[in-house]
Amino acid sequence: MVNFQKSLDIVIAEDDEDDYLLIAEALKKEGDVGFIHWVKDGEELLNYLDTCDKLDNSPEKNPA
């Protein structure tokens, strides 16, 4: 039987780099983490999420 386990893409909003590094290290040890993106504040997080939303709704991804 084939195991189709998905990895997680995670966004961490944390203004302290040391805290981010601790969180990222713990996540990598505990699970199947694919991509970890770090933003330093709420404004960066909203910009990142807005960009992701625009990419997910692009005509190339959702042809008519």
Q: How many domains, in total, are found in the chain?
A: 1
Which range marks the domain in which residue 46 is found?
8-56
Asked if 14 and 38 count as a contact pair (C-beta separation under 8 A), the reply is: yes
Could you tell me if residue 62 is inside a domain?
Answer: no
Could you tell me if residue 3 is inside a domain?
Answer: no
Could you tell me if residue 51 is inside a domain?
Answer: yes
Could you tell me if residue 63 is inside a domain?
Answer: no
Does the predicted model carry a pTM greater than 0.85? no
Could you tell me if residue 37 is inside a domain?
Answer: yes
Any idea what DSSP says for residue 61? T
| Per-residue tens of pLDDT for the chain, all 64 residues | 555 567 788 999 999 999 999 999 999 898 888 899 999 999 999 999 999 888 776 555 544 5
- Give the pLDDT score at 4: 59
End-to-end CA distance of the chain: 36
Closest CA to 7 of 35, 34, 25, 31: 34
User: Half-sphere exposure (CA, 13 Å, Cβ side) for 40?
Assistant: 4
Could you tell me if residue 61 is inside a domain?
Answer: no
Could you tell me if residue 17 is inside a domain?
Answer: yes
Could you tell me if residue 24 is inside a domain?
Answer: yes
